A = this chain, B = another copy of it.
Amino acid sequence: MAVTLKDVAALAGVSVKTVSNVVNGYSFVKPANRKLVEDALVATGYRPNIGARNLRRGRTGFFALMVPELGIPYFGELAAMIITAAHERDRNVLIEQTWGQRDLERSTLASLGPHLVDGAILSPEALEAEDFALLGPDVPVLMVGEHAVEARLDRVAIDNVLAARTAVEHLVRLGRRRIACIGENPRRGTSAMRLQGYREALADAGMPADAELVAPAVNYHRRDGAEAMRALLELPDPPDAVFCFNDMLAVGALRAAAERGVQVPADLAVVGFDGSEEGAYSTPTLTSIAPDKAAIAERAVERLTTRIDTGLPHESAFIQTPFVLEVRESTAGRRA
């Protein structure tokens, strides 16, 4: 059986509470007793029972992290960093995957009772504003990334409109004339912001907004990017540049270009979004908007923990994190 405070106390010859005090670093314990207890702790190999402690404290010490899918590199990396940041604050992370499905996102939201987790970090894809009624009133939650929903929640994200503009302005500066984008999807929050940035950049450059250059994507997987790119390449007047709303779409686009014998970047410049390491090693390497994921993870966990610890419903904030445009081969040089 597991070692409890009682066992340690018996060995050390003190009360259970004194052991508890030592374990928690609390109050004043006489050095002699402290030594006794510490020796007993080592001898028994005591480990606190988290469940019992949390029961007593009324906290669970757990966060939920709701993401579409860990197998997507962006979310895998983000989850990795969030777990690390949470551990630094003695919290554990429970990962809930929703596969981008609204019903799974809804049921996840509804399950965020105060018993299971102290709070949650959400990265929804299909939630509507009304769904947030499912949330318990006292559950601190926070969103990472942009989302169309207008919930009154804390958010940690980069400026998606600006980032998208930056990407497209880069293409404009290269002299590209027919700049397409891939990823339009009314049900995805990120889509709206990135589309807006794309349009703003085109407008600023005095370029027409050609509807046939805006390629939709149901999901943001490589397959979707490849399909969208194939469709774009079959246009009578195909694009000479494409801005993809994430790196996986961009990798798919590179593949479709390779299949068609379209040279990147000579015939087609490609920009992605996420700054994934995959893009740094693809052929050609991929220019991409790289959000500072470590900053997102750190700020998100920091904000959530302080909100939990203070318990007060302060103003909900938008915490903006930095990004950079990583320029690589897929947009190298000028048009041939």
Contact = CB atoms under 8 A, between A and B. Distances in A.
Nearest to A55: B51
Contacts of A94: 92-94
A332 interface: no
Contact of A77 (B48, B70, B95, B115): B70
A283 B280 CA distance: 13
B281 A283 contact: no
A222 B55 contact: no
Interface size class of A (residues with CB under 8 A): 35 or more
Contacts of A222: 277, 280-281
Contacts of A280: 222
A10 interface: no
B83 A97 contact: yes
A95 B83 contact: yes
A84 B84 CA distance: 22
A45 to B, nearest CB: 8
A317 interface: no
Interface in A267-300: 277-278, 280-283, 285
Interface of A: 2, 47-52, 54-55, 60, 69-73, 75-77, 79-80, 83-84, 92-95, 97, 111, 113-116, 221-222, 226, 251-252, 254-255, 258, 277-278, 280-283, 285
